[in-house]
Amino acid sequence: MLVIVCPGQGSQSPGFLQPWLELPGFHDRLGWLSAVAGIDLVTHGTTSDEDTIKDTAIAQPLIVASGLLSLLALFEHPADGFRRVGAGAGHSVGEITAAAAAGVMTAEQAMVFVRERGRTMAEASAVRPTGMSAVLGGDPDEVTAALTQHGLTPANINGAGQVVAAGTLEQLDALRSAPPAKARVIPLKVAGAFHTEHMAPAVDTLAGYARSISTHDPRVPLVSNADGQVVHDSRDVLRRLVSQVRNPVRWDLCMETFVSMGVTGLIEIPPAGTLTGLAKRGLPGVETLAVKTPDDLEAAHRMVREHGAPRTAMDPSWRLVISPAKGVVSFDRSGEGDVVEPGSVVAQVATLRDQYDVLAGHGGRVIEWLVEDGDPVAPGQPLLRLHPQGV
């Protein structure tokens, strides 16, 4: 099984997009996404210095745009992106890249959303000087105690012996001066305490934008960095994208999910390197590839062929239960997450003369009801969405 992972902020470096501009169409597409975001991503991806691209309002759109465009070259045949990828995931802002790549939103919607995410998080960061530092090694309990002692938040629990602490610059300086035993503290190239309560002002603004985005359920399973769960519902994906701004990233749980899914190959898209490094330590036996330049595409195509398993029509992300007739629907509502057995009656549709049972032919877990009890319905109208068990 193949998983595609999308990195987050701090993975960017000056000039990292320069070699990609040599690919046919890449410059024009990056120019288009620049117009959508209102940011000159061509300049920032090629000639801007480290301090410039460290700016949250620039870094986040730059990372998402680079990921979306490089994905177009990752597969020898475009349809392979949906047919052969077993799962997708993103770290922090990389979840927007993963969501758009899976078809939850368009590239243009993703660029507007990440532009506002970067802007509002930059504004929240400006209220008080904050930042993040990676804590490498050390006893996990001692690391947690040290962060608590200094009033810091474990904003990213990345597994493989890495925790990212977030808080004020004074708190981070204190941690660096007195690190936990056998641990190293390394400042990160970010301009705020992301995934903490310092980012709370950004959440309400993003929630408003999210309500205006039309979505589609992901065409490949998405592993959420909130809890490592596989998410199949597009609105749930969007809700998680909003709330993750101030909640910790649990990349350790994502890697645990990769193991349980049977992942054998992991490809990280540009600006690649960080997540591949974690996977090398946390996913022994899994082949990894950091796609940093177009020179890595040949190896990526090989991995897609060797690790990608075609998804078939018998392996859906969800199924619909539909109305058998025109009439009025009635049901004892099953809640989200409830399991419906194959062949069970989930509702009735009453006409002027008859009453029809609505059967869940394949069964599954309830994702959402699409109608209310007592609604008039038409033949073939979707009533209930189920996630097949075992998928």
Q: Express each pLDDT in 332-387 by its tens digit.
A: 876 777 888 888 899 999 988 778 888 887 778 888 899 999 999 887 788 888 88
Q: Which of 3-7, 163-167, 197-201, 332-336 has the lowest mean pLDDT?
A: 332-336
What separation in angstroms does the CA of 184 have from each of 136, 154, 275?
5, 15, 19
Strand partners, 379: none
Q: Express each pLDDT in 214-230 by its tens digit.
A: 898 888 889 999 888 88
Percent over 70 (pLDDT), the chain: 97
Cβ–Cβ under 8 Å, residues 147 and 138: no
CA 32-86-267 angle, to 5 degrees, is: 60
CA distance 307 to 3: 9
Per the residue annotation, which of 44, 91, 150, 195 is the catalytic one?
Answer: 195
Mean pLDDT in residue range 52-73: 95
Single-letter residue type at 390: G
Given a cut of 70, whether residue 89 has pLDDT beyond it is yes
Mean pLDDT in residue range 301-324: 76
Cβ–Cβ under 8 Å, residues 271 and 66: yes
Token pair, residue 214, equals: 């039309």
Single-letter residue type at 6: C
Confidence band (pLDDT; 50, 70, 90) for 233? confident
Tell me what pLDDT residue 391 has. Answer: 43
Given a cut of 70, whether residue 10 has pLDDT beyond it is yes
Strand partners, 322: 382
Contacts of 281 (CB under 8 A, 6+ apart): 159, 160, 161
Tell me what pLDDT residue 326 has. Answer: 80
Q: Which of 35-39, 62-66, 264-268, 356-360 has the lowest mean pLDDT?
A: 356-360
Give the end-to-end CA distance of the chain in Å, rounded to a whole number: 13
Tell me what pLDDT residue 333 has. Answer: 72
Average pLDDT over the chain reads 90
Cβ–Cβ under 8 Å, residues 350 and 376: no
Residue 355, classed as helix, strand or coil, is strand
Per the residue annotation, which of 66, 70, 92, 133 is the catalytic one?
Answer: 92
Residue 359, classed as helix, strand or coil, is strand
Contacts of 359 (CB under 8 A, 6+ apart): 321, 343, 344, 345, 346
The residue behind tokens 């990195």 is 7
Is 212 among the catalytic positions?
Answer: no
Query: For the whole model, what pTM was predicted?
Result: 0.79
Mean pLDDT in residue range 153-165: 89
Strand partners, 249: 156
Mean pLDDT in residue range 121-130: 89
Tell me what pLDDT residue 94 has. Answer: 97
Mean pLDDT in residue range 163-192: 90
Other Cβ atoms within 10 Å of 186 Cβ, number? 12
Q: Is 80 exposed, middle or buried (0-12, 13-18, 19+ CB in 10 A)?
A: middle
Q: 2-6 and 265-268 as β-strands: parallel, antiparallel, unpaired?
A: parallel
Single-letter residue type at 255: M
Domains in the chain (CATH in brackets) are 2-125+196-307 (3.40.366.10), 126-187 (3.30.70.250), 319-387 (2.40.50.100)
Token pair, residue 302, equals: 């090989």
DSSP E strands, 43-198: 87-90, 130-137, 153-159, 162-168, 183-187
CA distance 198 to 178: 23
Given a cut of 80, whether residue 109 has pLDDT beyond it is yes
- Give the number of residues written for the chain: 391
Tell me what pLDDT residue 18 has. Answer: 96
Q: Express each pLDDT in 245-266 by its tens digit.
A: 999 999 998 998 899 888 999 9
Strand partners, 356: 349
CA distance 76 to 79: 9
CA distance 164 to 178: 16
**Rg of the chain over CA atoms, in angstroms?**
23
Is 195 among the catalytic positions?
Answer: yes
Tell me what pLDDT residue 106 has. Answer: 95
